[in-house]
């Protein structure tokens, strides 16, 4: 139906959505209706990304005293719109406790604030921080921000609010209706929405007025994405408009988004696995051929981004990602819907001269699941006084926790009432079945607990290895 989008526009206006938000969704909808949402990026059309300068190479080439000057022109933006629903949270994921520091329970947001405050004090820079919240994360998160007596910021907003968009009824192509919970009729447009939100908020103009030239953007659930004067100086030295931090792929990263070079244009592209043709999957997942993955931490020149957004009236032409779900994600029998999204890193293809820099795993510590949280809360990490999540080598054991008992954060916390076990000597951890842990449990080698068919308990001070809980008389 040619006028079908009018239903979406009317619904969005009733929801007090801006014309920019409506224009952005209109573009996504048109791409989806034209069935262009899954355009392949074929292996034959791209070249692997190689010879990327590493953080260590960069570190040796810059004057670290001068680097403070570049850093002083840098602003910090954190994507904080996620609710952590994959872990059963009903609040901002950044409010989830990560670990203790000097007896105080620290959440993601507390650690992020600590990173900003200590950096300001140590280097004498302004380093303004802005959160991109969603309507669902704003209230609780900003309450924490305002309660922190050491964090002060004037003239530059501490938050901007990302847009929402209607979910599409897959059968009819119309806005989905769910009267029992109308909130579920809406979804976020992916972190690519950052750009139209920034444009609409006027944040770039404000930053320029205050003398800032660079913007560092990262996810709030990646505590490794700290402000860095080294990278700020490198970015300034290159003169590039856009820089993506990439990390070396391991086998576990083989299905993640990675950067490639378009043979026709010479520009860099973000290729997600949803854009890989079946015939190309072996090549795309070959970590020797395509050695780097996208960490979703980007550096952008404020004037270049402002110019690009003005060119497209605030709505960048990013590739459309189609997510097939049900209107109630917890009820597989509810109405099938499609949610249209874009990825922030995909903007790399729009900037002539965009570059990448290879960083160590210490700058990529995401928490997407309770398996990740298990490692983050363990003795593998030490939270320093400058709020760096420090580990010896940042090579972590693979962790597989039984999703029936550990996927939901409340179930997870219930089974680790004291703390998670020691992982200092563990190569991998596999927990099958319903196990609850006492104090001071240690795991070693390829630790595994098998499903006993009934709830089980690991007593205080026990060791768990390849054969399960070790017997008391082991030598």
Tell me which residues are annotated as active site: 368
CA angle 48–51–53, rounded 5-degree value: 130
DSSP string across 112-165 = HHHHHHHHHHHHT----EEEEE-TTTHHHHHHHHHH-TT----SS-SEEE---E
Distance in Å from the first CA to the final CA of the chain: 75
Q: Cα–Cα distances in Å, from 355 out to 53, 201, 241, 349?
A: 10, 27, 8, 10
**Which of 265, 350, 346 has the alpha carbon at shortest distance from 307?**
350
**Are the C-beta atoms of residues 340 and 165 closer than 8 Å to each other?**
yes
Query: DSSP secondary-structure letter at 329?
Result: T
Provide φ and ψ at 168, rounded to 5°.
-100, 125
Chain centroid to Cα 291, Å, comes to 20
Provide φ and ψ at 5, rounded to 5°.
-65, -25
Helices marked H in 15-134: 19-33, 55-61, 64-71, 108-123
Length of the chain: 475
**Which of 385, 69, 330 has the alpha carbon at shortest distance from 214?**
69
Residues 6+ apart with CB under 8 A from 26: 5, 8, 9
Helices marked H in 239-339: 281-284, 302-311
C-alpha span between 458 and 471 (Å, rounded): 12
C-alpha span between 342 and 316 (Å, rounded): 10
Bridge partners for 163 per DSSP: none
C-alpha span between 249 and 247 (Å, rounded): 6
């Amino acid at each position: 139906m040619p006028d079908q989008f009018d239903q979406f526009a009317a619904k969005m206006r009733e929801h007090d959505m801006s014309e920019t938000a409506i224009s952005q969704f209109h573009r996504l909808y048109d791409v989806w209706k034209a069935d262009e949402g899954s355009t392949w990026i074929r292996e034959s059309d791209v070249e692997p990304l190689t010879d990327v300068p590493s953080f260590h190479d960069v570190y040796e080439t810059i004057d670290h005293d001068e680097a403070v000057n570049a850093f002083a022109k840098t602003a910090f933006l954190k994507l904080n719109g996620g609710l952590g629903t994959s872990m059963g949270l009903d609040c901002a994921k950044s409010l989830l406790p990560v670990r203790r520091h000097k007896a105080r329970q620290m959440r993601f947001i507390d650690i992020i604030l600590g990173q900003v405050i200590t950096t300001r004090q140590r280097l004498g820079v302004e380093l303004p921080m802005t959160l991109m919240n969603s309507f669902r994360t704003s209230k609780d998160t900003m309450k924490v921000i305002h309660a922190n007596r050491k964090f002060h910021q004037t003239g530059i907003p501490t938050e901007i609010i990302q847009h929402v968009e209607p979910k599409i009824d897959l059968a009819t192509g119309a806005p989905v209706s769910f009267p029992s919970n109308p909130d579920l009729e809406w979804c976020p447009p992916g972190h690519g929405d950052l750009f139209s939100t920034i444009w609409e908020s006027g944040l770039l103009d404000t930053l320029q007025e205050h003398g800032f030239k660079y913007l560092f953007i990262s996810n709030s659930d990646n505590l490794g994405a700290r402000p860095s004067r080294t990278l700020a100086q490198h970015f300034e030295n290159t003169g590039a408009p856009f820089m993506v931090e990439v990390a070396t792929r391991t086998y576990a990263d083989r299905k993640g988004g990675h950067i490639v070079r378009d043979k026709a244009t010479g520009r860099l592209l973000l290729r997600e696995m949803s854009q890989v043709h079946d015939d190309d999957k072996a090549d795309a997942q070959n970590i020797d051929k395509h050695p780097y993955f996208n960490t979703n931490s980007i550096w952008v020149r404020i004037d270049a981004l402002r110019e690009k957004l003005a060119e497209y009236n605030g709505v960048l032409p990013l590739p459309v990602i189609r997510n097939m779900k049900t209107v109630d994600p917890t009820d597989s029998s509810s109405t099938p819907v499609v949610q249209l999204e874009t990825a922030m890193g995909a903007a790399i293809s729009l900037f002539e001269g965009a570059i990448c820099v290879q960083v160590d795993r210490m700058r990529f510590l995401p928490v997407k699941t309770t398996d990740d949280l298990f490692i983050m809360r363990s003795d593998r990490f030490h939270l320093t006084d400058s709020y760096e999540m420090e580990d010896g080598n940042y090579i972590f054991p693979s962790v597989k926790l039984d999703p029936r008992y550990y996927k939901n954060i409340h179930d997870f916390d219930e089974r680790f009432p004291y703390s998670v076990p020691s992982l200092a000597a563990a190569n991998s951890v596999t927990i099958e079945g319903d196990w609850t842990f006492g104090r001071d449990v240690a795991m070693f080698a390829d630790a595994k607990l098998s499903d006993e068919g009934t709830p089980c308990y690991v007593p205080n001070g026990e060791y768990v290895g390849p054969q399960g809980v070790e017997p008391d008389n082991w030598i």
